[in-house]
Amino acid sequence: MEKYRAVPAGYMTVGELAKKMGVTVRTLQYYDRKNLLKPSAESEGGRRLYTDKDMISLHQILSLKSLGFSLEDIRKRLISLDTPADVANALAAQAADIEKQIGVLSETLEDIKALREEVLQMQAVDFKRYAAIITNLQMKNEQYRLIKYLDDKTLEHCSSAIDRESAAEIIETYSRLIRQAAEYRASGVAPDSEKGMKFAEEFWSMIEKFTGGDASLLPKLMEVEVLAEAEQAKDVGDSDSKNQAGANLFIGSSLEAYFKKQGIDPFGINSDKGEKK
């Protein structure tokens, strides 16, 4: 490191650099100790001297730090700035990191807005329900709105009996089957046809997996579905609403035919009385 009696042209003191970049002198001293940003020169009096190149390096460091990278990660990501290509590559990498972070922040913002809307529709503070909504938002579950309608027993089942991996699988299956039901309904597939029976079998298998075989959860789930359908009808266009309604009609009809064919009694119907208990 070169030493100078005074500050030569093209150099700036640590205080000047700190002022230009909006940081403290202590921060620059810390980066020096951590070998993250060493001064390019030093005065005979021991004053640290920096160049414009050092200022660009500092900009890299501050940008990466604002994205949440540790100092060790930042050290690995710093690129030499000896050629125009080096500078361009450094800026490209920095831009990519920022774009990624923007994506993350945008998703977080949307999750916060969605949670706020759900909170405003609930009658009381319920952190367990809030946590369930957040979890489902993180899993990209479009059915997160159903959570506010669940009773305590069903919510407890969802929270404790179903792990994140199983929940993700059920969510994916449900979304796929809803789309398939809408397509079948639109194309005129009969609910009691071979396709309809195969569909109903998979849909019922998904329901059994979700409930863990507890038939007492089914009436509440059906009630929740009705409430959710009414809510969705307010938020989507006529076309989407008709598609959802069509899907629900096909699902109901195909399940009814499937239960009859398989002799399944999902709601505990008394076979002697032929009525639901």
Task: Convert the pLDDT of each residue in 58-86 to its tens digit.
Answer: 998 998 888 888 888 888 888 777 788 88
| Type and span of the H or E element at 146 | none
One-letter amino acid for residue 170 of the chain = I
Q: Considering the domain boundaries, does residue 129 fall inside one?
A: no
Tens of pLDDT, residue by residue over 28-54, are 999 999 999 999 988 777 788 999 989
Residue 171 and residue 72 in one domain: no
d(CA 22, CA 51): 16
Q: What percent of the chain has pLDDT over 90?
A: 23
Which structural domain, as residue segments, surrounds residue 233? 163-276
- Whether 56 and 87 have beta carbons less than 8 Å apart is answered as yes
At 194, is the pLDDT very low, low, confident or very high (cuts 50, 70, 90)?
Answer: very high
Q: Answer whether residue 48 is part of any domain.
A: yes
Q: Which of 16, 50, 78 is the last residue of a domain?
A: 78
Choosing from 78, 100, 117, the residue where a domain stops is 78
The whole-model pTM stands at 0.50
CATH of the domain at 47: 1.10.1660.10
In a domain, 68, yes or no: yes
55: pLDDT strictly greater than 70: yes
Q: How many CB atoms lie within 10 A of CB 96?
A: 10
Residue listed under structure tokens 């329901």:
207
Predicted pLDDT of residue 37: 93
C-alpha distance from residue 258 to each of 30, 58, 220, 223, 251 (Å)? 70, 67, 21, 21, 10
The most confident of 3-7, 12-16, 110-114, 159-163, by mean pLDDT: 12-16
Question: Is it the case that residue 232 has pLDDT exceeding 70?
Answer: no
Of the candidate ranges 19-23, 120-124, 198-202, the one whose mean pLDDT is the lowest = 120-124
Domain final residue pick, 28, 53, 78: 78
Any domain includes 19 = yes
pLDDT tens profile 234-257? 655 555 556 667 788 898 899 999
Is 148 within a domain?
A: no
Of the listed ranges 8-17, 51-60, 227-236, the least confidently predicted one is 227-236
Residue 88 vs residue 3, higher pLDDT: 88
Q: Can you give the pLDDT at residue 270?
A: 44
Question: What are the pLDDT digits (tens) for 128-161?
Answer: 778 778 877 877 777 777 788 787 888 887 777 6
Q: Are strands 41-43 and 48-50 parallel, antiparallel or unpaired?
A: antiparallel
Distance of CA 139 to the CA centre of its chain: 6
248 part of a folded domain: yes
pLDDT of residue 174: 84
Q: What is the pLDDT of residue 241?
A: 56
Q: Is the pLDDT of residue 224 over 80?
A: no
- Split into its structural domains, the chain has a count of 2
Q: Which residues, at least 6 apart from 167, have a Cβ–Cβ distance to it below 8 Å?
A: 136, 139, 141, 158
What pLDDT score does 229 carry?
A: 63
206 occurs within a structural domain: yes
Residue 21, in any domain of the structure: yes
**Which residue did the predictor score with more confidence, 240 or 192?**
192
Per-residue confidence at 277, pLDDT binned at 50, 70, 90? very low
Tokens of 232: 């969705």
- For residues 176-182, average pLDDT: 90
Could you say which DSSP state residue 5 is in?
A: S
